[in-house]
Amino acid sequence: MISVNEIEMIIKEQEKRMQNLLNDEKIIKRELIIPQEKIIKGVANIIMGPRRCGKSVLAFMLANGLKFGYINFDDERLTIQANELNKVIEAIYLLKGDVEIFVFDEIQEVSGWEKFASRLTAFNRLILTGSNARMLSMEMSTYMTGRHIDHTLFPFSFREFLDYNGVEYNDKTPYTTEEKAKIISMLRRYIDIGGFPLAIKAGKEFLSDLYRDIVERDVIQRYKIRMTLKLTEMARYILSNSSSEISYSKLRNIFGIASKHTVQDWLNYLEKAYLIFKIERFSFKLKKSIIAPKKVYGIDTGLVSLVSLNSDIPKLMENAVAIELIRRKYYWEYNKEINYWKDHSQREVDFIIRNGNNVFSLIQVTYASKIDEIKDREINAIINASDELKCNNLFIITWDYDSTEIFKSKKIIFISLWKWLLER
């Protein structure tokens, strides 16, 4: 049983380490904004997202400058039970006196934390972080209903990636040839290495460890998977086939899994562990959307590139666009939904952005640097979708081609991936 004095020592060491990190490492301002005035008593702010995407630093920075208590429960010395969590509060008060904000990092490591957080939230300002499905447990739904605001932090956007690497950019002023070449070079690296801060610093060796931790700790151990080899193989297959349609029946047949429901559960576990996310096919009939194949994307192009035998630039481009669309939804465009479209003739549009049945824009992604490299089927698909969905806001994201063209009386905006990724 851990003592209050031991917890005090751990808190002091952890806070010193975080302060040293802020002082010694390059820390950039993240695009997920949580104003301090929104961190109020009665409502816990919960920052969720993949492992090692920067949640701890963001939470610490939100409270920095105020009188706060911080503790990271992902520490092997903190062998603590839920009924001992009051010792943490005691240790913080002994160290700090009265505090304005409590920051509990990776609190899901303590089984049964939800009752404690719910009680504390009623009279205190709370910031919690978590990197897996335990933050979405049934217990949290029961004990913290109406008492939490969820925020999802993603790996670096391309804009943040450039900030971190000290590359200046804007989305208005024309670029010189040299500036453009520099940004495109950085885009190639971004697509290959992804947006995890430690991957940018340490390389793909970090991504190998991260991938293994997500699959083994956040899925296999968390959900007590017995068919570990099949789950591991399926995770690798899905990630290496990102940007492709998948169906539960097909995966069941590929991996020889008896139940389609098992496959569905496994995919949900991988999604809750922030390794992948799914996009549904759009139909005005809900049942058709539910039963249609899904498109699956990796949460980070670096992870996709890591597990893929070949770096398929067109698929990685599409995955980068999918991540950015999801990021914009969670950061700024909360009311928008993202789907893909496919008709009976198998014409496909990569992304449609909508609110209910009101479709705002259609987006096609293609690896092209000239108009004659863009295949007719991609243009025809977006035009047909435009007619069916009553949407004239049409975009084709290219590798390096910018123009506005008219096809069959439809205006299509062609925009380079690097330019589109720099937009806010």
107 touches 113 (CB < 8 A): yes
Instruction: pLDDT band for 1, please (50, 70, 90 cuts).
Output: confident
Mean pLDDT of the chain: 93
321 touches 417 (CB < 8 A): yes
In a domain, 130, yes or no: yes
Does position 9 have pLDDT exceeding 60, yes or no? yes
Q: Give the residue from 117, 50, 122 showing the smallest Cα distance to 85.
A: 117
Does position 37 have pLDDT exceeding 60, yes or no? yes
Residue 59 and residue 136 in one domain: yes
Return d(Cα 358, Cα 353) in angstroms, integer: 9
User: Strands 44-48, 68-72: parallel, antiparallel or unpaired by DSSP?
Assistant: unpaired
Residue 10 and residue 106 in one domain: yes
Strand partners, 337: 354
Residue 232 and residue 289 in one domain: yes
Residue 147 and residue 252 in one domain: no
Residue 356 and residue 265 in one domain: yes
Instruction: pLDDT band for 138, please (50, 70, 90 cuts).
Output: low
Does position 10 have pLDDT exceeding 70, yes or no? yes
Residue 134 and residue 240 in one domain: no
Residue 258 and residue 403 in one domain: yes
Q: What pLDDT shows up at residue 134?
A: 60
Which amino acid appears at position 209 of this protein? D
Residue 88 and residue 233 in one domain: no
Q: Give the residue from 170, 189, 188 showing the smallest Cα distance to 179.
A: 170
Does position 36 have pLDDT exceeding 90, yes or no? no
% of the chain at pLDDT higher than 90:
83
In a domain, 172, yes or no: no
Domain boundary among 129, 152, 175: 152
Return d(Cα 52, Cα 83) in angstroms, integer: 28
Beta strands in 299-409 (DSSP E): 337-342, 348-355, 358-365, 394-398, 403-407
CATH number at residue 98: 3.40.50
Residue 127 and residue 273 in one domain: no
Residue-range definition of the domain harbouring residue 289 = 186-422
Domain boundary among 110, 132, 152: 152
Beta strands in 247-385 (DSSP E): 276-280, 294-298, 337-342, 348-355, 358-365
Q: What pLDDT shows up at residue 135?
A: 65
Q: What pLDDT shows up at residue 175?
A: 87
Instruction: pLDDT band for 137, please (50, 70, 90 cuts).
Output: low
In a domain, 330, yes or no: yes
Q: What are the tens digits of pLDDT across the range 68-91?
A: 999 999 999 998 999 999 999 999
Instruction: pLDDT band for 389, please (50, 70, 90 cuts).
Output: very high
Return d(Cα 91, Cα 94) in angstroms, integer: 5
- CB-neighbour burial class of residue 96 (10 A; exposed 0-12, middle 13-18, buried 19+): middle
% of the chain at pLDDT higher than 70:
96
Find the radius of gyration of the CA atoms of the chain.
23
Average pLDDT, integer, range 187-207: 95
Strand partners, 277: 297
In a domain, 265, yes or no: yes
| Residues 99/103/108/113 CA torsion (nearest 10 deg) | 20
User: How would you classify residue 409: left for phi > 0, otherwise alpha for psi between -120 and 50, otherwise beta?
Assistant: left
Tell me how many domains the chain contains: 2
Q: What pLDDT shows up at residue 282?
A: 96
Does position 286 have pLDDT exceeding 90, yes or no? no
Tokens 């109020």 sit at which residue?
A: 40
Strand partners, 71: 104
Of 40-49, 137-146, 241-250, 388-397, the poorest mean pLDDT is in 137-146
Return d(Cα 117, Cα 120) in angstroms, integer: 5
In a domain, 23, yes or no: yes
Residue 394 phi, psi dihedral angles, 5° rounding: -115, 130
Q: What are the tens digits of pLDDT across the range 290-307?
A: 889 999 999 999 999 999
Question: Coil, strand or helix: which one is 85?
Answer: helix
Residue 199 and residue 286 in one domain: yes
Does position 105 have pLDDT exceeding 80, yes or no? yes
Question: Coil, strand or helix: which one is 69?
Answer: strand
118 touches 144 (CB < 8 A): yes
In a domain, 246, yes or no: yes
Residue 203 and residue 246 in one domain: yes
Return d(Cα 396, Cα 349) in angstroms, integer: 10
Which amino acid appears at position 94 of this protein? L
Q: Give the residue from 55, 228, 170 showing the smallest Cα distance to 421.
A: 170
Does position 246 have pLDDT exceeding 90, yes or no? yes
In a domain, 177, yes or no: no
In a domain, 165, yes or no: no
Instruction: pLDDT band for 136, please (50, 70, 90 cuts).
Output: low
Residue 376 and residue 275 in one domain: yes
